[in-house]
Structure 1
Amino acid sequence: MVDRIEYCVDNLPSDLRAALPAECVGWPCLQRCGLCYDEPFLAVDGELVTGDDHEELLADAGVSPDR
């Protein structure tokens, strides 16, 4: 299990943000210089991970949104 997942608020859909557990923290910007406009990404315990969609990235990190 991960300790912390960080995400850019503008990069993650609002319905998914509302369903995330406490270890997921949103920020206005993660200082990744425009990556938030290019593809889904998260910072998992400080390491940048990218993929096709956020739900897949969260599942890979062992986090399941409460939907």
Structure 2
Amino acid sequence: MTSMKVPALLLMAYFLLSIFLHPCLCLGLQNTSQITEAYRNDAKAIDQGIAYMLMLIALVLTYLIH
């Protein structure tokens, strides 16, 4: 029974990493002209991304403290 926990955990980790890293891989396959047209520096989007990361860190720290 315990021998099945490790492969299941590794499979779950692989699955989650593939979900989170798939957009990065897709961006790497596009042409650079398409990327520059589609993405521009938007200060509001950057600020929102930083805010989401800080909230995620606060959530994890709160979970670990309790």
Which entry has the higher C-alpha Rg, 1 or 2? 2
TM range (shorter): under 0.3
TM-score by length of 1: 0.22
Whose helix fraction is larger, Structure 1's or Structure 2's?
2
TM-score by length of 2: 0.22
Whose strand fraction is larger, Structure 1's or Structure 2's?
1
Larger relative contact order (C-alpha < 8 A, sep ≥ 6)? Answer: 1
